[in-house]
Amino acid sequence: MKRRQLEIWQLGGLLGLLSACTANIETGPQTQVTPPATGGASASGGTAGAGATGGTVPGSGGSVTAGSAGTGGTATGGSAGTGGAGGSMPTPDPEGNVPYTPPAPGAEALRARTWKLTHAQYAKTVQALLGVAVDTSDLEPDLDNGVYPNMSGSHFVRVPLATGYFRKAETLSSALTTAQLTALVPGGALTAASRDTFLASIIEKAFRRPATAEELTAYGGLFDLGASEGDPVLGFRAVVRGLLTSPNFLYRTEIGSDPAVADFTLTGHEVASLLSYSLLDGPPSAALLALAAGTELTQSATLGTQVAALVNQPEATAQLAAFMSAWLQVYLFDAEEVNKDETRFPTFLSIKQAMKDETVSFLAQYGGPTGTIPALLTTPVPMPTGPLGTFYTSEPSGSAGGVRTGVLALGTLLSVRAKPTSSSPTLRGKFVRDRFLCQQIHLPDDVVPDISETQMTLMPKTTRELYEFHASQPACAGCHTLLDGVGFAFEDLDAAGRFRTVENGVTIDTSGHLYETDVNRPLANHTDLANALAQSEWTRECVATQAFRFYFGVVEADRGIPPVQAARLSVATGAFRDMVVAVMSSPSTYHRVRN
Amino acid sequence: MLSKKNMFSRRALLKTTLGGVFLAPFLRQRALEAAPVLPKRLVLVFTPDSHPREWWPTMGGTYGFTLQEPLADFVGLEQYMQFVQRIDHSWTFDNHHEAGVAQLFTGQRFFDDATHYANGPSIDQILLKETEIRGGTPIASMHVCAGDSGGGDKRHVSSYSGPGQPIAHQADPARVFTDIFNGVTFGGTTPTPTPTPTPTTDINTLIAQRTLEVNMDEIRRIQTFLGQEERERLQIHLDSLAELEMQVDGTVTQPPATVGGTCEKVDTSGVNRSDRNDVSIDKWAKVQADLIVNAFTCDRTRVADFGMGFSGSHHTGMMGLVAGDNNSWHDTVAHLSVSNTSRTSNVQVNGAQMTVTEAFIKFDRLWAGQVAYLARKLSMIAEGDGTMLDNTLIYWGVESGTDHNHSPRDMQYLLIGGKNMGFKAGQYLKLPQTESAHKLHTSVMHGLGYTAATGFGIEPTCGPLAGVLV
């Protein structure tokens, strides 16, 4: 049969189709990016200049776009988008300046969705429901799609995870002691007479909302089946088991109450779950669920007050720390790939934990509820005592120490954006562009860089010279100028964040240049860069955007959506606590559309 | 076959008149399939950093080609190998790393600009949906890796169940073993077919069955509130529960296929999951390969996805690499072979001085040796009147063109085995003009039973590639 079909294919006069399918390689972005701010990156043949307003950006190729498209996202004009284009940064002027321009207001409604609990949230929810701890280390890990680890679109329940949930439910329900089981039953009697009150109570706790009639029937059937052999306790256990694998337990839903209504407001209980899991990383309290029965959570006038109350809780501080870690990708520091060359950095592994602790401590103080963007970026990092301080001054030319300004100068972040043996101005510049300006630098398509013998002969010289060689090549200049001009400012801090003033006998040069922002300027060092970013409105919008992505678990389709812009305005004058309140207090928290 | 998209509880379906009518021919078909048949199998393989140009064989020899050093571990397996040269990817973006790995086995563009996932299913998942390749085995497909920690980032994933739906590799062999061989009794020759299940009265089983029915109904109800993309995400959960239901019911019947080899337990101990140590990686990869082979001999699954390293993985300092100021194999060796035709820059590997080319060949051979190990093991298992490799296609691809050149051109795909499915094993097919990889993928799907495929990925009507199949 197969042979015959192949013959038909070959004899079928499909030459036109076949020829159409010979390789015809398409280049360029494959999904909509609106509009790419090519600016200096696509300018050609310029000469780098200096001066207060910046020079013309040299180079060619590549492009920079603001934001990034994503799944989900916000509604546009009443119908939800299916993946947005992220930002819409204005085109730079000939000198590479990009003054900040507020976007047009975006639609407030997000898309109806489900959002699976993370394993940590699952464990907390089991604890809250049953009063028992559960180990989730043997569950199939949730996927991190590279945006944030808790994105609603990246978690799938495939067979291994479904099996894990199934076994957990079986184990947990059968291991409950009589006392634990009794505690779940209003009135405390494990008898068939308690069936209906138990069902209403346990379903409401498990689903974070009152049970429906259909659910009472379905789980009542489970109870009856379990109790059918004469022991009602088995009925109670059967219900618990079923609830623990229910999608209403495993997911937060943002679907409203009537599937026929396309543009709708979430139920108060759905908002309660959204707020609690996003802000506190755990299930809603009884008090919050009580509020959910009213309208306080589904109206702008009252939502902010409730959000502010939640943000004052200790769990919200922990969640803000989780955001800081995820935004700045501190977790990457744990990877083996970050480890340094043992010959050049023999004590790196021994101080690795201390370096991470230093970052956690700094972020807790300046990235915590009372922290601000200027404080995070420009506060001097104190020289640590003990082995970590010794390590930072262990490079001979840097034994006298030096200046470390703000979060960008922390050893963890610098070590991640470096090679095992050398710093990487490109990786460091890319990090700043990506995480603090929300600019994605795209290399020119299908360009084979002329990396040749010449590069190898440069090795004995400085990192700066090596990267300047890259930037001297026409195909590479555009991107490297944008990236390395930022990254060079950190050259006095080596691959592991140690101070240095000399590299291979050549005095370190930390000068650089910041292009394609609203705060363009020549940079003498990374303190200049930190001060510039602290004044940048693009940075404020970017931080607000990152917060939106983390707390809502979705990439924005539009710069102008209410939570992003409210958070931008808030963080311009306020603290991170205020930013979080703003991002969660707009109508986007409760307004949804189906598509 | 039952479309997975419309998978319902079979108990629930049989309760209805229409369901009985619907399932009857399906069950008859199952009975017809009771005649011994040879399974079809597929292993997708990804290795990092592409291959040097020496990966291509020279002309001449018994099969029209002679292997060079990167594929030296394949010597003796030439009869199973099919090289196809002048294959291009159809689109590119940036330096092709992410574009290359996204379209490697999917033929799709990006799902979005945030994740750079592929915008559609990969060939393994298409075949599971459109053909009987699964054959009633209990596990639809297995996804394993070595030299990489796995995870969901786009550079680590090559299999997709749908748009933006990556299937991550499992890096831990012990966990793979648990997932794949749960409940298996080892030491037998051919797996014993599971008898037709009889309705159980065990209360725990009944509760498990009812629980699954309730949960599946709940998912279906939630789906009615959602748009397509969100519905599809929940569909994966629904399909998973349907799989669980079959396991609970005991209705996963082993088909009476002729399966070669013996069902043996794999020792997963002693694996050090470091991606910077070639000795560790060698052990790690071989254990994962053993798990694939034994999943086949135990007929637990017939579809596997085996990733080694990831797109752009560095493996810094592995094999004692010393290369200037950056000991990344990716940066300093693989990419340096591209435009430097003389390529004489010295590097050190395990203390020996050599050219970049020689180093790249050694690096490539580390990965190629693992593929050869898998192929050789399959070739040594008698099955039907041939070997297990005759009934298995190992489909090996990389992320960018020859010499790791950041380019979508001159992609290096290698087909190994599959003779009983019509693949022209033992040839070096040099195409007269460049052709889209989609045509090659279409031929692969035809060979594995999806003969209705008219094209692949973003070229749905491109047709197959002449000369790949008999």
CA separation for the pair A53, A59 (Å, rounded): 18
Look up the ipTM and state it.
Answer: 0.87
Nearest-Cα residue of chain B relative to residue A137 = B175
pLDDT of residue B331: 80
Instruction: Indicate the range of A391-400, B36-45, B319-328, B432-441 predicted with least confidence.
Output: B319-328
The reply to whether residue A21 touches residue B464, judged by beta carbons under 8 angstroms, is no
Mean model confidence pLDDT for chain B: 87
What domains appear along chain B, each with residue ranges and CATH number?
1-32+195-251 (no CATH), 40-189+268-447 (3.40.720)
CB B350 within 8 A of CB B279: no
Instruction: Indicate the range of B7-16, B119-128, B209-218 predicted with least confidence.
Output: B7-16
* pLDDT of B95 higher than 50: yes
Between B93 and B281, the higher pLDDT residue: B281
pLDDT of residue A85: 39
* pLDDT of B340 higher than 60: no
Measured in angstroms, the CA of B369 and the nearest CA of chain A are apart by 24
Chosen from A158, A199, A265, A439 to mutate, greatest number of chain B CBs within 10 A: A158
Q: What does the block give as tokens for B351? A: 């203390």
pLDDT of residue A53: 33
> Nearest CB to A163: which of B153, B161, B244?
B244
The reply to whether residue B210 touches residue A30, judged by beta carbons under 8 angstroms, is no
DSSP annotation of B364 reads H
Q: Which of A469, A550, A560, A556 is nearest to A149 (CA)?
A: A550
The reply to whether residue B154 touches residue A28, judged by beta carbons under 8 angstroms, is no
pLDDT of residue A81: 32
> Nearest CB to B274: which of A70, A248, A336?
A336
CB B335 within 8 A of CB B314: no
CA separation for the pair A425, A488 (Å, rounded): 5
Measured in angstroms, the CA of A287 and the nearest CA of chain B are apart by 26
pLDDT digits over B150-179, tens only? 888 899 999 999 999 999 999 999 999 999
Residue-range domain boundaries for chain A: 114-254, 320-535
> Nearest CB to A259: which of B225, B276, B435?
B225
Measured in angstroms, the CA of A51 and the nearest CA of chain B are apart by 32
Q: Which residue has the tokens 């769990």?
A: A315
Q: What pTM was computed for the model? A: 0.86
DSSP string, A352-415: HHHHHHHHHHHHHHHSSTT--HHHHHHSBPPPP-HHHHHHHT-SGGGTT----BSGGG-HHHHH
CA separation for the pair A167, A159 (Å, rounded): 12
The reply to whether residue B325 touches residue A27, judged by beta carbons under 8 angstroms, is no
Contacts of A157 in chain B (CB under 8 A): 236-237, 240
Measured in angstroms, the CA of B210 and the nearest CA of chain A are apart by 7
Q: Which residue has the tokens 């949960």?
A: B215
* pLDDT of B14 higher than 60: no
The reply to whether residue B225 touches residue A241, judged by beta carbons under 8 angstroms, is no
CB B190 within 8 A of CB B297: no
The reply to whether residue A112 touches residue B229, judged by beta carbons under 8 angstroms, is no
Cβ neighbours of residue A260 under 8 Å, at least 6 residues apart?
none
The reply to whether residue A157 touches residue B236, judged by beta carbons under 8 angstroms, is yes
DSSP annotation of A587 reads G
Cβ neighbours of residue A171 under 8 Å, at least 6 residues apart?
none
Q: What does the block give as tokens for B179? A: 């997932």
Between B10 and B174, the higher pLDDT residue: B174
Contacts of B148 in chain A (CB under 8 A): none
pLDDT of residue B405: 76
The reply to whether residue B236 touches residue A69, judged by beta carbons under 8 angstroms, is no
H helical segments located in B108-202: 123-130, 173-181
pLDDT of residue B193: 45
> Nearest CB to A6: which of B115, B325, B464?
B464
> Nearest CB to B327: which of A3, A228, A420?
A420
Chosen from B207, B300, B442 to mutate, greatest number of chain A CBs within 10 A: B207
* pLDDT of B320 higher than 60: yes
Nearest-Cα residue of chain B relative to residue A28 = B93
Q: Which residues of chain A have pLDDT under 50?
A: 1-23, 28-61, 67-87, 451-454, 456-458
